[in-house]
Amino acid sequence: MPLSLDLSPLLAQLEALGAIGAEGPGRGRTRLALTDAERAGRDQLVAWMRELDLIVEVDQLGNIFGSLPAATAEGDREPLMMGSHIDTVRHAGALDGCYGVLAGLAVQRAYRAAGIAPARRLVVAAFTNEEGVRYQPDMMGSLVYAGGLAVDDALASIGTDGSRLGDELARLGYAGEAPCGFLKPWAFLELHIEQGPVLEAAGVRLGLVRGVQGISWQRITLQGEANHAGTAPMAFRHDAGYGAAATVAFLREQITKAAPGTTLATVGSLSLEPDVINVVPERATFTVDLRDPDEGQLAAAEAKLDHFLETLAGEEGLTVHKARLVRFAPVVFHAGLRKRIQGAAEALGVAPLELTSGAGHDAQMMARIAPSAMIFVPSIQGISHNPEEATDPEDLALGAEVLLRVVEDCLALPLGAAP
Ligand code: HGY
Ligand code: MN
Ligand code: MN
């Protein structure tokens, strides 16, 4: 008899978690990784895990795991993991990441309510620093968990505010004992809002995620020469501000408009020094976020940018320094799990739309160590990383129902079988 999922605790918890770090009407919430606001979110999540009488474990990078033990010791050895993140960008919506974590708790709650011990250990993970705003790279917690970054290197990373990640983790009391990777998932499932316009535009309520596009993050510093805005002839200037602006224009005109038009480019952070109205900027520091579903296209975009910067440096008399922050190749999710998601959706009367994720996700990292897949629900007007981020509660319910059905489907498989 299929389990039933109670939606109201999920919606109530989404609201309660969304209130942590809230900044007033229309300003969303901010829970940057390892800040006091995020600690409050972590504490709240752990409290909800304890209410479900889960085994709560924290690893050395502060990744939090809540486990429903399996009916057998053998089942404990092949955990089915769900999860996402609860850290946010600045002025974020309430659903990004949190929906996948709290829907996982809702699935565990359905097993608890039915008094059924699952055939496999059923785990919900909340990974540290998925957003990568304060510390780079993004998806850091799952990247370390999947062995893509040494835990000591992650602990040593210095934030945009000059803080050391390991110190902040210890200050928050979330420097756990468990070694990163201590639970090897039999499979990993992440339920997430699409954060884009595709599902809504197609009028489809569920997304079957074929994979995640490649991501390249760099911090670029252009060093020019400060000079008087009123006396320095234009031809004599080494204007770092002009260099930054020219780069933004180049990315838009020469990269994103070039065929096949799949590359996305964003300069999300830009600062000028000395940042004074009547001084030619001597230094510009900015970030470049490039994405493409095709590895070759992404690499070509990076090479074009390098060449542009070299030419610009020569023409404007600037020096260029590039710091690589993130480089993730595109990932394709597990075919078997995607079939199960498709089957669960169709059993609920919805033919899901297949799409590639524009946003990075923890599943992109977990796919390195376990069969992984994602389920999307639509974002209203495709908006995310914005206080206006929203999804119809009916769609939130449908996504969580599909997650539960896929879990039940997976748990019905004999131990030792592939997902
Ligand atoms: O940048 C991303 O795509 C994710 O939100 N960290
Ligand atoms: Mn997310
Ligand atoms: Mn995000």
Q: Is the Cβ atom of 132 under 6 angstroms away from ligand 1? A: yes
pLDDT given at position 1: 64
User: Which ligand is nearest to the Cα of residue 194, counting in written order?
Assistant: 2
pLDDT score at 2: 72
Whether residue 307 is predicted with pLDDT greater than 70 in this model: the reply is yes
Q: What average pLDDT score do residues 386-393 get?
A: 98
Tokens matching residue 150: 């040494």
360 lines ligand 1 (CB under 6 A): yes
Shortest-distance atom of ligand 1 to CA 195 = 5
pLDDT at position 331, please?
97
Residue pLDDT, tens place only, 400-410: 999 999 999 99
Identity of the residue numbered 31: R
Tell me how long the chain is: 419
Average pLDDT over residues 317-334: 97
> Is the Cβ atom of 196 under 6 angstroms away from ligand 1?
no
* Per-residue pLDDT tens over the stretch 328-383: 999 999 999 999 999 999 999 999 999 999 999 999 999 999 999 999 999 999 99
Ligand nearest, relative to CA of residue 213:
1
Give the pairing type, strands 122-126 and 80-84: parallel
Confidence of residue 276 (pLDDT cuts 50, 70, 90): very high
| Structure confidence at residue 104 (pLDDT) | 98
Q: What is the mean pLDDT of the chain?
A: 97
Interval 64-112: pLDDT, tens: 999 999 999 999 999 999 999 999 999 999 999 999 999 999 999 999 9
The atom of ligand 1 lying closest to the CA of 359 is 3
Q: Give Cα 361 to chain centroid, integer Å.
A: 4
Question: DSSP class of residue 97?
Answer: T
- Return the residue whose CA atom lies nearest to atom 6 of ligand 1: 131
pTM for the predicted model, two decimal places: 0.94
For residue 360, the CA-to-ligand 1 centroid distance in Å is 4
Q: Please check whether residue 287 is in contact with residue 268, taking contact to mean a CB–CB distance below 8 angstroms.
A: yes
Atom of ligand 1 nearest to the CA of 360: 3
Does residue 389 have its Cβ closer than 6 Å to ligand 1?
A: no
Centroid of chain to Cα 207: 17
Is the preceding omega at residue 79 within 30 degrees of 0, hence cis? no
Average pLDDT over residues 381-399: 98
Instruction: Tell me the percentage of the chain whose pLDDT exceeds 70.
Output: 100
In 3D space, the residue among 134, 317, 120, 138 whose CA is nearest the CA of residue 216 turns out to be: 138
What would the two tokens of residue 43 be?
């504490």
Residue 260: cis peptide before it, omega within 30 degrees of 0: yes
Pairing of strands 187-193, 279-280: unpaired
97 lines ligand 1 (CB under 6 A): no
Which ligand ends up closest to the CA of 139? 1
Distance between CA atoms of 96 and 194, rounded to whole angstroms?
9
| Predicted pLDDT at 4 | 85
Instruction: Give Cβ neighbours of residue 9 (< 8 Å, ≥ 6 apart).
Output: 105, 106, 109
Give Cβ neighbours of residue 119 (< 8 Å, ≥ 6 apart): 70, 71, 72, 75, 411, 412, 415
Could you tell me if the CB of 362 is within 6 A of ligand 1?
no
Burial class (CB in 10 A: 0-12, 13-18, 19+), 260: exposed
Token pair listed for 197:
């316009």
* Number of H-type helices and E-type strands within the chain: 13, 16
Res 17 pLDDT > 90: yes
359 C-alpha to center of ligand 1: Å?
5
User: Do the Cβ atoms of 415 and 75 come closer than 8 Å?
Assistant: yes
| Ligand number, closest to the Cα atom of 88 | 3
pLDDT (tens digit per residue) in 156-199: 999 999 999 999 999 999 999 999 999 999 999 999 999 999 99
Which stretch of DSSP H or E encloses residue 145? helix 140-145
